[in-house]
Amino acid sequence: MTESVSPSFSHQADPHRRARLRWRARRGLLENDIIVERFFNRYEESLSDQDVAALSELFELSDNELMDLLLARKELDGELDTPPMQHVIAMLRSV
């Protein structure tokens, strides 16, 4: 099922949304910053709105929780264990 999103609400169509997402991605741990920066350098232009929503959820986690997921010390569980979140974590781990 493909979600229809108006271009005016699209992450890719709105440079301000992209800038806000990058700002929210800034972390207190250098290791997280390095991974997230590499991720944006590789994938930012191809992120779907669903990817952006999953990233926004991830960025609500504490730095240590995020690092554990990025380094595969822990796996997604509970409400975070969704196909969109699994997709974004796989992309983050690939950089």
- Which of these, 46, 49, 35, lies nearest to 89 by C-alpha position? 35
Annotated domain spans of the chain: 9-93
Supply the pLDDT for residue 69: 96
Residue corresponding to tokens 């890719």? 12
What are the phi and psi torsion angles at 84 (to 5°)?
A: -60, -40
Please tell me the distance from the alpha carbon of residue 27 to that of residue 6, in angstroms, as a whole number: 30
Please tell me the distance from the alpha carbon of residue 91 to that of residue 50, in angstroms, as a whole number: 13
Q: Is 77 exposed, middle or buried (0-12, 13-18, 19+ CB in 10 A)?
A: exposed
Regarding pTM above 0.85, the answer is: no
Chain segment 34-48, per-residue pLDDT in tens: 999 999 999 988 888
Which class would CATH give 9-93?
Answer: mainly alpha
